[in-house]
Each structure stands twice: as C-alpha cells, then as structure tokens.
Amino acid sequence: MAFTDKLKELRAGFLPTFWTANVIELFERFAFYASKAVLTVYLATKAGFGVQTAGTMAGTFSLFLWSFPIIAGVFVDRYGFKKTLAACFAFFTIGYFLIGLAGLEYGQAITAAIGRTTYMYIVLILTAIGGSLIKPCIVGTVAKTSKPEIQSLGYSIYYTLVNFGGAIGPILALQVREGLGIEYVLIMSSFTSLLLFVGTLFFYKEPPKAEDEKPQSSLSKVFRDMLTVFTNGKFILFLVIFSGFWIMFWQIFYSFPFYITEVLKFPRFEILETVDAWSIILLSVPLTALAKRLSPITAMTLGFLIASSSWLLMAAAPTVTVAIFAMALFAVGEALQAPRFYEYVASLAPKEQVGTYMGFAFLPIAIGSFVAGVLSGWLVETYLRQSMNPNMMWFTLSGIGFGSTVLMLLYNVFIVKRKA
C-alpha cells in the first residue's frame, strides 16, 4: 500500500505534458542519433565529398546546432513552447530529407544545379537551426510541468531518455543502412520528425505560466546580455578549455567509424558507437553519487583525465573488444564531469543572468564539435589513408585531452583558488 501511495504521489508530481514532452524527446533522439551515427560516413562516401570535407561539414552542422540554443530561448518566450517545438520538427522534416536527397538518384539534378557543396552546407545549416530550438523547449517543459520538490527527478528522467536515444538511434540506423541504404537513414529521420510534428500539434499542450513569471526578454536585450558574458574573460576561458572534452567526444561519430570499418574490419560501426550511451545509462547513478563528494573542478578534471586515457587504451591493441572497453572508459569520464559542469556554470553566473550563462553552457559543445569535425578529416586522411598509423590518431586525441586536463588544473590554481 505504501508503494502504491508513493507511486500515486510521484505521478501527481508531473503534469501530463511532462510525459508527452519526454516521449517526444525520446523519438527525436532516435532520429537525431540515427542520423548522427552515419552522417560523416554518408557525406564522405554516398554523397561523395571525401573524408576531409565530410568532417568539416559535420562539424559545421554541430556548430550551428549547439550555438543557437544561446538565443533560442527568446523564441520560446515570444511564440510559446508548442509553436516553437512544431517549428523545430518542421525544420527537421525538411532538413533531414534534403540531406538524404543528395544520396538519391533523383536528387542529383537538384544538387548539381545548386552546386553540391553549396547545397549540402545550406541544408545542413537549415537542419541545425531548426534542431537548436528543441533544447529550450523540452528542458523548459520539464521545469514548468514538474513540482519543485521532484524537479530533479524530472531532469533525471529527461537525461535518461536522451541517453536511450543515443543508444538505440544508431542501432536503428544500422538496420536501415543494411536493409535500404545509408541515405535512407536520413529519410527515416525526416519521416520520424514529420510524425513528431503531427504529434506535437495534436498531443502537446502549452505548459502553464507561473504567476510570478517575468516578462519575456527582447532579442536586443539577449544580445546585450551575451556581449556582457563575453566580457567575462575568466568564464569564457573556462568554456574554451572545456571544449577540449567535446573535441574528444565527437570523434566517436566522426573518425571512430572509419577506424572501425577500415582498421578493425567491423562493418557494423553503429553498434560500437552506442557503447558510450549504454555505459552512461548503467553508470550515471553511482558515478554521479561519487562525483557529489568531489568539488566541481576536481570532478571535471578527473573526468577529463579518465576520458583522455581511453584513447590510449584504444592504441594499445587494434581489436573490437579493446575498442568497446575504451568507449566504456570514456563514458566513465563523461559521467563524472557532466553533472558538475552545469552546477559549476550556474555557480559562476550573477543571479540576474543565470539563464544567459546556462545558455553559454552549450558553447563548449559547439566549439568542440566544429574543431572535432575539421580535425577528424585530417586524422583519417593522415593516419588511416596515408601513413596507415592509426595509433597516432588516438595519441593525438589523448594529447588534446591531457592538455585540457593540465589547463583545468592551472585554471583551478591560478584563477579559482586565487579568486577564493
């Protein structure tokens, strides 16, 4: 009886829109990570751009995707959650389809008329701009539809579903790629987005506004606040240092697939791309509990150190088993630092600018993903195709990680402790 009462109390803590938004997020992550799993390989092979250009294109896509959430909240405030979310899926539906069109026979005339490179950059950026709208929509819905006393549980449910999307999306991509062709993974993501567009219109209800909710900020005020943040040199320095982690992370989707197929001779590369997400799902609770005992800087630095070491493990032996263990070890580092990062950013923000500063928390992902895309093309061409020395790929990535770890330590000693 006590358990039943507790379950009823738990369900009463969330409005129905909370569950609608999380189901929408789960299927959106299926579509996103399915496309992300194959994007670089698709651009390099089926779309015919080659590894170097494909890496730069994928990095540009992620740069726009993760930069725009800084200002996307303004559109949520102005037009509401439902309209913004519907716009996101409209962009995704069109964008994913147009990306996949470049790999279809009847799309060749269209891409040739515009110019293949120009066409692909346009449709990638279009897709990324639409995709950037989903973060403030879903996270904002979780905040508005959860009672304060269980809001942390609401975020936990949200992040768990995000990781399930990251784990299952690439597996769906594998089935479609092997059954129909790699270009149809993008078509599948487009069709999924279309269903989510319809589902949003019919099932998603606008969250209620709080009585003490502040009036919306104008776009000009958002830009003024952004400029103010850029004048905080110490904060921006921290974000730039932290982008080193994301340079490593995005190699799981950029250079890792080429290593799996060309060196390990394992054609089902999507399966190994899911190891990080599955490990996060299994390890996040105990590792988050462990990280709470450490200071934020210590937890983040330790996470950097462990993640950097995973690439050395990859260089130790070119086997699928070692690659799996390396990705699991990387996930340990990720799970240690991720929750403390957002806590640390919030602690640095002035009370009147918490929202703006939290928007800037996406900046390291944007910087890291773009640099990772450009870097991945060079790594694959140089160490897989020319010198055939794949270990140097992993030594380079671990060097970036260890360098970022040292910079984090120096930042802690000369800026954090000195300020304290």
pLDDT in tens, 7-26: 665 666 788 888 999 999 99
Closest by Cα among 320, 52, 50, 18 to 145? 18
What pLDDT, in 10s, does the model give residues 278-312? Answer: 998 888 778 777 777 888 888 888 999 999 999 99
Helix axes 69-79 and 81-101, enclosed angle (nearest 10): 130
Fold: same for 12-204 and 217-420:
yes
Q: What local confidence, expressed as pLDDT, does residue 54 receive?
A: 94
Q: How far are the Cα atoms of 4, 123, 218 from residue 162, in angstroms, in the given order?
A: 28, 25, 30
Amino acid making up residue 57: M
Please indicate whether residue 283 or residue 175 has the higher confidence score (pLDDT): 175
Q: What local confidence, expressed as pLDDT, does residue 362 receive?
A: 83
Q: What local confidence, expressed as pLDDT, does residue 1 receive?
A: 46
Q: What local confidence, expressed as pLDDT, does residue 43 receive?
A: 95
Distance CA 274, CA 167 (A): 5
CATH code, 217-420: 1.20.1250.20
- Superfamily holding 12-204: MFS general substrate transporter like domains (1.20.1250.20)
What pLDDT, in 10s, does the model give residues 266-280? Answer: 999 999 999 999 998
Q: What local confidence, expressed as pLDDT, does residue 258 receive?
A: 94
Per-domain residue ranges of the chain: 12-204, 217-420
Q: SS3 for 69?
A: helix
> What is the pTM (predicted TM-score) of this model?
0.87
Backbone angles phi, psi at 388, to 5 degrees: 50, 50
Rounded to an integer, the average pLDDT of 169-195 is: 96
What pLDDT, in 10s, does the model give residues 230-251? Answer: 888 888 898 999 999 999 999 9
Predicted confidence (pLDDT) at residue 141 exceeds the cutoff of 50: yes
